[in-house]
């Protein structure tokens, strides 16, 4: 409605491309699609394999390609294969005597491609070319006699193909009489290959007779959502390897007449190991997202949903808050998402719902973003374990190793935590005992995007062509996406500084000699506070020089020392008694000194135990030195009004 606030109309789309296309509120085909390098490469035909994590936009590219040029008449020259569980089970169980599993499953995929192409050609010859040469009529008879003409269910076509390849297909329409040549095949697998070659020749002849390669763009045949029928079992690996082999073979067999695009989840593709794998590197394109690209996507979807020509500044200055937790709002939001559209869309929608539906506001506040961030982090931690449930069923059981601690974790600290849980993990997951080692869980947690590794001044998370974790690398960071859910909101697990309270000592009348004659309270307190301030500045300087320590950790340490320093500056030195020795000072610098020395010692112990880099140990050493110095100064305060104890 026109009178609704802009925030009420704001929506960033559905979380999956299929709903975003079919849903009445979907934005994908209403200006909410952001053309990316992966999309451009897919359109140009330079790549055959589009690889990305779950939620990275593979299906969005697929849906957009299906819609491109349709003009309301349905997709022309484009076919989409999305195996359901029936089809997946059929492929996984398909075997042929005389052929290894990968090769057998490649044959069934080749058959599926040939049948899809044949069905396309039957309609295409009439609609686009206005003629049906003999080769196309042969395809009509083949489809009809083998039960492939009218059935649109992929699972049923799979069943037909499996039956035909394992026994015999009707091929006389191609000039091959039943049993001719095929009876001489040395094995079931060899007979199936010969039958399939006949069908593929018939399809290729029809393309050539129609002149499709010169007359128009090639038929685009896409396969998506293979993860719905994949498991970690060998038969599933063979199913995917067979698909790759079949697509490469068919692309060569049909030339410029057919183009293939396979959309594969990165964890599935990366788990494959087969001899022909090196031949596919040139066909790969991995989807990657930067914060800038996600920001562009957010703006495109905001415009599509509101119908307004929003600017980037309006979205991030007028609708969203300018900053969240002293960080630029877009950097805060997208920095707490894994780099993929689905996560960004979920977080952005949650911010809008928290502000508009929960609190009834007409703009999103910092409090709304922070509240949404807590819910989003809990979602993503759960989603991560479900995303990798097949490959790493133990993943959920590793998260407690990181709860309620710092988000910067050393290899040494992680080793200690893992050793305490190792026996339990092996008992729960005996089949994965080889993977459940310290190096094994570090590799897994890095691969899934949970842990980043410190390299120089950067923290590198998995993605692209980055190196895996190296044995010499010792510092890891939990991704910001998961920190709130784990309670790891500080860089390192440091005890918070609490202001010293001298009340108990004053009530007890124990003022350590302040009532002694000749003591100058103000001068003595001033000197103690100056030395306390000097110690704080010394630790801050050492922290600033600890360049081997991550910036987040340095900020964390500096923040706590600054709290000590602020406490020193906030409380004035003691006031000398004005009417006799029974009046105690209003502020006990001595107590502050001892309290700070104790805190420095505690902080040094935590840094030493953290197992972080040399920089942390240097800061810990300085803290210990200053704690000893402060205690010596305190020892010189008893019954003395002079500069004893080294002041």
- In this predicted structure, what is the pLDDT of residue 473? 92
Indicate left, alpha or beta for 69 from its phi (over 0: left) and psi (-120 to 50: alpha): left
**DSSP states along 547-571:** TTS-HHHHHHHHHHHHHHHHHHHHS
User: 138-195: per-residue pLDDT in tens?
Assistant: 999 998 888 887 766 666 667 777 887 887 788 888 876 544 455 566 778 888 888 8
Nearest CA among 246, 9, 217 for reference residue 109: 246
What count of other Cβ atoms lies within 10 Å of the Cβ of residue 249? Answer: 17
What residue has token string 């999305």? 82
**Greater confidence, 123 or 571?**
123
DSSP state at residue 356: I
What is the rounded CA–CA span in Å between residue 112 and residue 106? 10
What is the rounded CA–CA span in Å between residue 181 and residue 197? 12
User: 248-304: per-residue pLDDT in tens?
Assistant: 999 999 999 999 999 999 889 988 888 888 889 889 999 989 999 999 999 999 998
What is the token pair recorded at 177?
A: 């009489």
- In this predicted structure, what is the pLDDT of residue 231? 82
Helices of type H across 132-186: 134-145, 154-166
User: What is the average pLDDT value for the chain, to the nearest integer?
Assistant: 83
User: 13-42: per-residue pLDDT in tens?
Assistant: 887 666 666 555 556 556 678 888 888 888
* 67 CB-near residues (< 8 Å, 6+ apart): 21, 29, 75
What is the rounded CA–CA span in Å between residue 593 and residue 613? 29
- In this predicted structure, what is the pLDDT of residue 575? 42
What is the rounded CA–CA span in Å between residue 453 and residue 62? 33
- In this predicted structure, what is the pLDDT of residue 76? 52
Ranges of each domain in the chain: 6-14+290-385, 37-286, 395-486, 503-635
Q: Is the pTM of this model over 0.85?
A: no
Q: Is the pLDDT of residue 332 over 70?
A: yes
What is the token pair recorded at 599?
A: 């805190």
* 602 CB-near residues (< 8 Å, 6+ apart): 495
Tell me the percentage of the chain whose pLDDT exceeds 70: 84
Beta bridge mates, 221: 79, 260
What is the rounded CA–CA span in Å between residue 66 and residue 2? 33
What is the rounded CA–CA span in Å between residue 285 and residue 41? 8
Q: How confident is the model at residue 71 (pLDDT cuts 50, 70, 90)?
A: very low
What count of other Cβ atoms lies within 10 Å of the Cβ of residue 504? Answer: 9
What is the rounded CA–CA span in Å between residue 373 and residue 369? 6
DSSP state at residue 272: -
List of E strands, 165-230: 219-223
Nearest CA among 346, 348, 343 for reference residue 330: 348
- In this predicted structure, what is the pLDDT of residue 121? 92
User: 188-205: per-residue pLDDT in tens?
Assistant: 888 888 889 999 999 999
What is the rounded CA–CA span in Å between residue 438 and residue 469? 12
Q: Per-residue pLDDT averaged across 516-533, rounded?
A: 67
Chain mean position to CA 456: 22
What is the rounded CA–CA span in Å between residue 198 and residue 210? 19
Beta bridge mates, 572: none
Number of residues assigned to the chain:
647
Q: Is the pLDDT of residue 444 over 90?
A: yes
Q: Is the pLDDT of residue 500 over 60?
A: no
First and final CA of the chain: distance in angstroms? 74
- In this predicted structure, what is the pLDDT of residue 574? 45
User: 394-419: per-residue pLDDT in tens?
Assistant: 999 999 999 998 999 999 999 999 99
């Amino acid at each position: 409605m026109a009178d609704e606030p802009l925030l009420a109309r704001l929506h960033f789309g559905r979380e999956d491309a299929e709903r975003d296309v079919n849903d009445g509120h979907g934005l994908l085909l209403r200006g909410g699609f952001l053309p990316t390098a992966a999309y451009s490469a897919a359109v140009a035909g330079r790549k055959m394999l589009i690889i990305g994590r779950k939620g990275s936009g593979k299906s969005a590219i697929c849906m957009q390609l299906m819609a491109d040029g349709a003009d309301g008449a349905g997709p022309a020259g484009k076919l989409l294969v999305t195996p359901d569980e029936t089809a997946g089970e059929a492929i996984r169980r398909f075997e042929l005597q005389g052929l290894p599993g990968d090769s057998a499953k490649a044959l069934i995929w080749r058959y599926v491609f040939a049948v899809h192409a044949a069905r396309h050609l039957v309609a295409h010859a009439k609609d686009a070319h206005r003629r049906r040469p003999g080769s196309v009529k042969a395809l009509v008879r083949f489809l009809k006699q083998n039960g492939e003409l009218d059935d649109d269910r992929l699972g049923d076509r799979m069943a037909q193909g499996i039956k035909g390849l394992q026994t015999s297909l009707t091929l006389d329409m191609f000039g091959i009489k039943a049993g001719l040549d095929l009876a001489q095949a040395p094995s079931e697998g060899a007979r199936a290959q010969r039958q399939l070659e006949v069908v593929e020749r018939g399809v290729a002849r029809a393309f050539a007779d129609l002149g499709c390669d010169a007359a128009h763009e090639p038929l685009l045949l896409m396969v998506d959502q293979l993860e719905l029928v994949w498991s970690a079992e060998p038969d599933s690996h063979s199913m995917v390897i067979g698909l790759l082999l079949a697509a490469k073979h068919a692309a060569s067999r049909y030339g410029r007449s057919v183009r293939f695009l396979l959309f594969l989840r990165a964890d599935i593709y990366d788990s494959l190991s087969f001899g022909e794998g090196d031949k596919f590197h040139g066909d790969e394109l991995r989807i990657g997202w930067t914060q800038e690209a996600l920001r562009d996507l957010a703006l495109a979807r905001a415009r599509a949903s509101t119908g307004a020509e929003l600017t980037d500044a309006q979205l991030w200055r007028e609708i969203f808050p300018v900053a969240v937790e002293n960080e630029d709002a877009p950097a805060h939001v997208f920095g707490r998402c894994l780099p993929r559209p689905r996560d960004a869309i979920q977080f952005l929608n949650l911010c809008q719902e928290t502000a508009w539906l929960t609190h009834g506001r007409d703009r999103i506040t910092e409090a709304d973003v922070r509240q949404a961030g807590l819910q989003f982090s809990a979602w993503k931690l759960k989603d991560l374990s479900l995303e990798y449930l097949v490959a790493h069923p133990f993943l959920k059981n590793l998260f407690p190793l990181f709860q309620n601690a710092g988000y910067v974790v050393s290899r040494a600290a992680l080793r200690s935590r893992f050793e305490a849980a190792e026996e339990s993990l092996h008992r729960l997951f005996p089949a994965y005992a080889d993977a459940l080692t310290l190096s094994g869980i570090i590799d897994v947690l890095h691969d899934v995007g949970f842990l980043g590794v410190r390299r120089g001044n950067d923290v590198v998370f998995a993605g692209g062509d980055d190196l895996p974790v190296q044995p010499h690398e010792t510092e890891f960071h939990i991704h910001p996406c998961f920190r709130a859910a784990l309670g790891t909101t500080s860089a390192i697990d440091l005890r918070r500084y609490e202001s010293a309270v001298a009340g108990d000592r004053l009530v007890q009348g124990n003022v350590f000699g302040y009532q002694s004659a000749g003591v100058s309270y103000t001068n003595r307190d001033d000197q103690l506070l100056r030395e306390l301030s000097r110690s704080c500045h010394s630790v801050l300087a050492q922290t600033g020089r600890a360049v081997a320590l991550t910036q987040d950790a340095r900020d964390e340490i500096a923040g706590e020392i600054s709290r000590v320093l602020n406490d020193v500056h906030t409380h004035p030195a003691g006031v000398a008694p004005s009417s006799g020795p029974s009046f105690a000072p209003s502020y006990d610098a001595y107590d502050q000194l001892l309290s700070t020395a104790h805190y420095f010692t505690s902080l040094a112990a935590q840094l030493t135990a953290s197992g972080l880099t040399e920089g942390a140990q240097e800061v810990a050493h300085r803290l210990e030195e200053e704690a000893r110095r402060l205690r010596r100064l305190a020892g010189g305060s008893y019954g003395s009004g002079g500069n004893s104890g080294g002041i």
